[in-house]
Amino acid sequence: MTNQNLYTLFENSFPDDRTLTVFEGPEIASWTFADITSLSAQMTHLMVELGAAPGDRVAVQVGKSVEAVVLYLACLRAGLVYLPLNTAYKSAEIDYFLGDAKPIIVVCDPASREELLNLDGASEVTEFLTLDGAGKGSLLDRSTSYPKDFETAARAAGDLAAILYTSGTTGRSKGAMLTHDNLASNAQSLHKAWHFEPGDILLHALPIFHVHGLFVALHCAFLNGSKIIYLTKFDPQVVISQLPKSTVFMGVPTFYVRLLAETSFTAEACNNMRLFTAGSAPLLEETFTAFSERTGQVILERYGMTEAGMITTNPYDGERKAGTVGFPLDNDVRIADEDGNLVQEGEIGILEIKGPNVFKGYWQMPEKTASEFRSDGYFITGDMTRKGDDGYYRIVGRSKDLIISGGYNVYPKEIESFIDDMPGVKESAVVGRPHPDFGEAVIAFIVTDGTVADLKAEDVTQFVKEKLANFKVPKEVFLIKELPRNTMGKVQKNELRAQATAAT
């Protein structure tokens, strides 16, 4: 039987000449395919000697380095389950993850090792290894004496490859269990859909503790045997300087906003590029249009989630439409109401999906897993979606963002789209706040762009009142300097709800 280990798929896609460069960048040394193959084998030997066996978890909270990517590959080779943790997490959050996932090994920054050692959840951890943002630490120090070859552990398609914890905005965080086949099938679908070709070079500026940077970007490059220009953080000027050497760039909407703010970001700078993709947060039509006008290229927006990787994408060949996420990849999709009944064509409902990319369930949460799947195997994404007459899918918002005011369903995205068109408004976010009469009141948060002097909250209310039904008009409007976002650029509406409630 063929080994279904994801690493085997990557290794078979690496170029025959392993002396070719796989990682380079203005802040890092160059790495060849032979380098990452050898070092990942050495790391694997170390972890196995420390007692790690296939199926054991390895929790990783480290800065962005090539060595951190090699550690991920090493975990795959050993059949271990990779558990990446956001570098912004604090000790209390880490304590929960360690206690829940019970990793055998933790790899962390040297500066946080002592603090993590003393957490209650660390009691069953066999070893704490360190790796800093420059790729130095005990992980490297202890790995380099081991052999540079390792026979990749045999894994079945359904064996776990990674656990990624969701943000936990509604209760405790859930660990999404992703199998080797989940990751492999999604990577192969994207590689095909986005027309990866020989000679492609990926410009990588995303964090690597997230699906977007770790799985979407790196997996496509590994499957293509591509060189990766690896930036340790997003800096618009550095990105612009590297674009002439690259062909593919994947970013969050905030990246594109910041690039457009640079006068050096021109069509000429993008001449060598063939693909820009956007995801992890909605891309404003204003940004989509400004990018096209500036560069002559059209951003390809797609949609996905932790539990399934990428689900839909705008076409590579064909029209890429602002405000849409295109068409389904290699999965079945349907739009249903809360009870699982299909909605009428063109109506808004909850997107449900089924396919090889859909995760195995939530770690140690069988009841939660069961509640998120229909009896016929469809996963309930919780994302409010509409399929247009043109066949393109549009994400209207999260079901938990749905506001029910006076018995009417209010979809924040609809109101936000009108407010964003108002002169003087840069961007907006709409949330619900408990109300004694209506159940929930519509509350809007506005960031101004400075072009309209003395823009007031009542001006926004009046503008919406002229456009939409009264039950959609915000009961209160807050003017703020910026919307709170997570590291992937998503607006943190739970924080806005808390602010709105506290203001009553």
Same domain flag for 34 and 181? yes
Instruction: Flag whether 357 is in a domain.
Output: yes
Same domain flag for 122 and 267? no
Q: What does the longest C-alpha to C-alpha distance in the chain come to?
A: 71
Instruction: Flag whether 223 is in a domain.
Output: no
Which pLDDT score is estimated for 167? 59
Same domain flag for 63 and 82? yes
Instruction: Specify burial of residue 189 (Cβ count, 10 A radius: 0-12, 13-18, 19+).
Output: buried
- Helix (H) or strand (E) holding 310, with range, is strand 309-313
Contact 202, 227 (CB under 8 A): yes
| CATH number, residue 108 | 3.40.50.12780
Name the region of 202 (left: φ>0; alpha: ψ -120 to 50; beta: rest). Answer: beta
Looking at the DSSP bridge assignments, the partners of residue 32 are 21
Contact 157, 185 (CB under 8 A): no
Instruction: Flag whether 490 is in a domain.
Output: yes
Same domain flag for 247 and 369? yes
Which pLDDT score is estimated for 152? 97
Same domain flag for 132 and 172? yes
Looking at the DSSP bridge assignments, the partners of residue 28 are 25
Instruction: Flag whether 328 is in a domain.
Output: yes
Same domain flag for 410 and 389? no
Q: What is the pTM of this model?
A: 0.88
Same domain flag for 364 and 473? no
Contact 342, 335 (CB under 8 A): yes
Which pLDDT score is estimated for 171? 55
Which pLDDT score is estimated for 309? 96
The number of domains in the chain is 3
Same domain flag for 419 and 432? yes
Following DSSP, what letter does each residue of 362-404 receive, concatenated?
Answer: ETT-HHHHHHHB-TTS-EEEEEEEEE-TTS-EEEEEEGGG-EE
Residues spanned by the domain of 298: 234-399
Same domain flag for 300 and 407? no
Please provide the distance, in angstroms rounded to a whole number, between the alpha carbons at the two ends of the chain.
63
CB count in 10 Å sphere of residue 304: 23
Instruction: Flag whether 226 is in a domain.
Output: no
pLDDT digits (tens, 9 = 90+) for 415-427: 998 899 899 999 9
The stretches in the chain having pLDDT less than 70 are 1, 167-171
- Measured in degrees and rounded to the nearest 5, phi and psi for residue 28 equal -130, 160
Same domain flag for 35 and 88? yes
Which pLDDT score is estimated for 438? 79
Same domain flag for 76 and 184? yes
Same domain flag for 262 and 355? yes
Which pLDDT score is estimated for 138? 98
Which pLDDT score is estimated for 51? 97
Task: Point out the domain boundary residue: 367, 399, 431.
Answer: 399
pLDDT digits (tens, 9 = 90+) for 261-281: 999 999 999 999 999 999 988
Residue holding tokens 């130095």? 136
Task: Point out the domain boundary residue: 168, 192, 216.
Answer: 192
Instruction: Flag whether 208 is in a domain.
Output: no
Identity (one letter) of the amino acid at 276? F
Task: Point out the domain boundary residue: 331, 364, 399.
Answer: 399
| CATH number, residue 486 | 3.30.300.30
